[in-house]
Amino acid sequence: MPVISAPQDFNEEDLFVDLLPVFGRSLFLKCEGFNFAGSIKLKAAARMLDAAEREGRVTPDSVLVESSSGNLGLALSVLAANRGLRFVCVTDSRCNLATRRMMEALGGTVHVIAEPDADGGFLGARLDYVRALCASDSRYVWLNQYANPNNWKAHYETTAPAILNQFPDLDVLFVGAGTTGTLMGCARFFRARSERVRIVAVDSVGSVTFGGPSGPRMIPGLGTSVRPALLDESHVDDVVMVPEPDTVRTCHRLAARGFLFGGSTGTVVSGALGWLAERPDWQGVAVAIAPDLGERYLDSVYQNDWLHGVDGEDVLRPNGLTAGTSLA
């Protein structure tokens, strides 16, 4: 039995779910939500904060500030509380209410951006606010998950090796694209070790990350309205774009079998199933990364009134799952 003294000291790294009984396709799902922040973002948050403290950028008088749609903000709230630091999360109206309340319960301050920027959407407006805050007071320290190399290095050192350890014959890895930290860390790791592993990025329709047109996105997590500085597309073999209704349907199909996952996970699984559906005779070893769990989505992805208002009354129609759109 592990005994820990800091929340980042515990993370379940070796839990995978075989989705064959759920979807009829061989796909293994790496579950990253079993830690004190409830998502994969705890790894990146801890590595970024540790590096900033070593470099002397973060001191006891510092106030951490970060733009986040939810999970990274909550992870930093956990770490800041443990280390006696103050933290301000700059988010927007799409952030789940439960996530906002959890950050506040941990002592964090949550600033909600109500209006998107004309060019950069909500993310652009959030980034503008963070920059202005840092310019106003030198005590504010922005770790900047969108450009900080420690974001991807966290997954190069932990997430990817854990996958290789469990699946040495891996053929394809599906990774959701938000800041692209997880994507870049895993892609760089496997590129350095095996040419046979295909890296498939999964993104939300309406995201501009891979050059698609900007569009409305209501589910927080994956996708961006400003291209992430961390992204290097040369490490990515395929890109699959997933409409939000497919994310919702996938989450509900998983929940119907007892697996309550978050919206980011629903998007990744939907994209993986779409990619596999285009290759019906493919027999390789496929793994997808599940960034989060579903409790924080009970008022959105799993709430019928919210779903009908966002995606229409047919969003949960039987057999409604469609294949994501590949950009390959």
Grouping H, G, I as helix, E, B as strand and the rest as coil, residue 244 is helix
Beta-ladder partners of 109:
88
Question: Distance between CA atoms of 273 and 41, rounded to whole angstroms?
Answer: 24
Alpha helix segments (H runs only) across the chain: 20-23, 41-54, 71-83, 97-105, 121-136, 149-157, 159-166, 181-191, 244-255, 263-277, 304-311
Question: Distance between CA atoms of 246 and 322, rounded to whole angstroms?
Answer: 6
- The residues, ordered by sequence, that sit 6+ positions from 1 with a Cβ below 8 Å of its Cβ are none
* Whether the Cβ atoms of residue 179 and residue 149 lie closer than 8 Å to each other: no
CB atoms within 10 A of CB 54: 9
Report the pLDDT value the prediction gives residue 327, as an integer from 0 to 100: 54
Question: Distance between CA atoms of 34 and 12, rounded to whole angstroms?
Answer: 6
Question: Distance between CA atoms of 280 and 301, rounded to whole angstroms?
Answer: 29
* Whether the Cβ atoms of residue 31 and residue 15 lie closer than 8 Å to each other: yes
* Whether the Cβ atoms of residue 305 and residue 312 lie closer than 8 Å to each other: no
Report the pLDDT value the prediction gives residue 321, as an integer from 0 to 100: 45
Grouping H, G, I as helix, E, B as strand and the rest as coil, residue 5 is coil
Beta-ladder partners of 288:
29, 174
Grouping H, G, I as helix, E, B as strand and the rest as coil, residue 172 is strand
User: Helix and strand tally (H, E) in the chain?
Assistant: 11, 11
Report the pLDDT value the prediction gives residue 313, as an integer from 0 to 100: 57
Report the pLDDT value the prediction gives residue 17, as an integer from 0 to 100: 98
157: which 2 tokens? 């050192």
Question: Distance between CA atoms of 251 and 41, rounded to whole angstroms?
Answer: 20
pLDDT digits (tens, 9 = 90+) for 181-234: 999 999 999 999 877 899 999 999 999 999 988 888 888 778 878 899 999 999
- Does the global pTM surpass 0.95? no
* Whether the Cβ atoms of residue 170 and residue 199 lie closer than 8 Å to each other: no
Question: Distance between CA atoms of 326 and 212, rounded to whole angstroms?
Answer: 12
- CA-CA-CA-CA torsion sign (115, 71, 201, 293): negative
* Whether the Cβ atoms of residue 239 and residue 200 lie closer than 8 Å to each other: yes
Question: Distance between CA atoms of 101 and 276, rounded to whole angstroms?
Answer: 38
* Whether the Cβ atoms of residue 147 and residue 79 lie closer than 8 Å to each other: no
Report the pLDDT value the prediction gives residue 242, as an integer from 0 to 100: 96
Q: Which domains does the chain have, with CATH numbers?
A: 7-39+155-326 (3.40.50.1100), 41-142 (3.40.50.1100)
* Whether the Cβ atoms of residue 41 and residue 74 lie closer than 8 Å to each other: yes
Report the pLDDT value the prediction gives residue 315, as an integer from 0 to 100: 67
Write out residues in the chain with pLDDT < 70, as ranges: 1, 309-328
